[in-house]
Amino acid sequence: MTRYSAFAIAREAFRDHLGWRRAWASPEPRAAYDVVVIGAGGHGLATAYYLARNHGITDVAVLEKGWLGGGNTGRNTTIIRSNYLQDPSAAIYEKARSLYETLSQELNYNIMFSPRGVMMLAQTEHEVRGYRRTAAANALQGVETEWIGPERVKALCPIINIHGPRYPVLGALWQPRGGTARHDAVAWGYARACSRMGIHIIQNCAVTAIRSRDGVVTGVETTRGAIACRKLAIVVAGHSGVLAGMAGFRLPIESTALQALVSEPVKPCMDVVVMANTVHGYMSQSDKGEMVIGGGADGRNDYSQRGSFHHVEETVRALIETFPILSRLKMLRWWGGIVDMTGDRSPILSKTPLGNCFVNCGWGTGGFKAIPGSGWAMAELVARGEPGPLAAPFSMTRFREGRFIDESVAAGVAH
């Protein structure tokens, strides 16, 4: 596979760019693999990549019912941060953030990581206390964050109105090394690296049944035939409950739609990410100039990939108060994604009641930021059959045992 470089670009320029190869192969599925990963989104591809990179397991198939990265990976607002309150959350999200820092170089693919900084606005006294507490916790966890006052907020983001009539800005939790990345490029970079190591990425291959014998997984039935495997990883975000049902167990999650929108492109006016949890909105500006806007999750269970008007209305109305500059912009695109929510707003990386079957789900609306750390921890779980230090706190048994990892505040708008 061609290594991307300035030399390669120059060489292909002299060949009318006719020598570029496909970024990843599209093989026919084999009858059996050591490991089958269901889901070719960011988390599934990262799991396969770190299985090969960290554990030398390359006899892997990644099955995707649609196209690679066509689910939540291509539908999120690309925010990367690790300023969570609980120690297990901070550990896995900070692992992910640190991996993002050098991921372009590691994958030889530009994921457009932009550590522009993330600020979470405090617009009530309750949020002030909460974010000051989180800043103290982050200091103990080794996560670089700080509490900043409204004047610093205004200096970092001049277009913000800190004197809003309903919700004035009282300060913010600031993470200077948080930021954004290109969501599609993250999936494509991992896919290219997986393909280079011999992993099979099989698109348009929906799983219709999970086979087992004596309580241990033996393979899957798909729309492209039966595939046997020694180990199975279910990494399908909002459809985790459906796949768990095929495997014969239930998950403590609910699936609902989360929506986002982008405005028409405008000149650069905002070079940080701002999250305003009191008014349920968060915003950044893309490289193309679009204002990328997200809001809260719908209040009902839903498998649709579209939003609801009342959430868009409330989100935009609130953000216009905080960012008056938005009032005359036109909406360019509007979409939704299916997110899987746990009761404590923390993920599940766990063994399951079915032997040699593992599940990675429950990231809610914070899945994109966790992709490298999630893949790292899930690969260790699948390879060894037991969770490592990153995954151990996120076992699905914690709900039965009362070991909740409550991130309902740090997750913000369920984010």
Within 13 Å and on the Cβ side, how many CA atoms surround 160? 29
pLDDT at 335: 87
| pLDDT at residue 139 in the model | 97
> What global pTM score does this model have?
0.95
Burial bucket for residue 375 (CB in 10 Å: 0-12, 13-18, 19+): buried
Contacts of 219 (CB under 8 A, 6+ apart): 32, 36, 210, 211, 226, 227, 228, 229, 232
Angle at which helices 87-101 and 125-141 pack, to 10 degrees? 70
User: What pLDDT, on the 0 to 100 scale, is given for residue 414?
Assistant: 40
In sequence order, which ranges of 260-323 are alpha helices (DSSP H)?
Answer: 309-322
Domain layout of the chain by residue ranges: 25-78+183-253+344-401, 115-177+255-342
Phi and psi at 45, nearest 5°, equal -65, -40
pLDDT at 307: 67
Q: pLDDT tens string for the chain (415 positions)?
A: 778 888 888 888 888 888 888 889 999 999 999 999 999 999 999 999 999 999 999 999 999 999 999 989 988 999 999 999 999 999 999 999 999 999 999 999 999 999 999 999 999 999 999 999 999 999 999 999 999 999 999 999 999 999 987 889 999 999 999 999 999 999 999 999 999 999 999 999 999 999 999 999 999 999 999 999 999 999 999 899 999 999 999 999 999 888 889 999 999 999 999 998 887 788 999 999 999 998 877 777 878 777 677 778 888 888 888 899 888 999 898 888 888 999 999 999 999 999 999 999 999 888 999 999 999 999 999 999 999 999 999 999 999 999 999 887 665 544 4
Q: What is the CA radius of gyration of the chain?
A: 21
Is 68 in contact with 187 (CB distance < 8 Å)?
yes
CA–CA separation, 103 and 369 (whole Å):
13
Q: Which pLDDT score is estimated for 320?
A: 87
Give the pLDDT of residue 294.
87
Place of tokens 């994109």: 368
Q: Which CATH superfamily is domain 115-177+255-342 in?
A: D-Amino Acid Oxidase, subunit A, domain 2 (3.30.9.10)
Which CATH superfamily includes the segment(s) 25-78+183-253+344-401? Answer: FAD/NAD(P)-binding domain (3.50.50.60)
Burial class of residue 44, CB neighbours in 10 A (0-12, 13-18, 19+) = buried
Report yes or no: 291 and 285 within 8 Å, Cβ to Cβ: yes
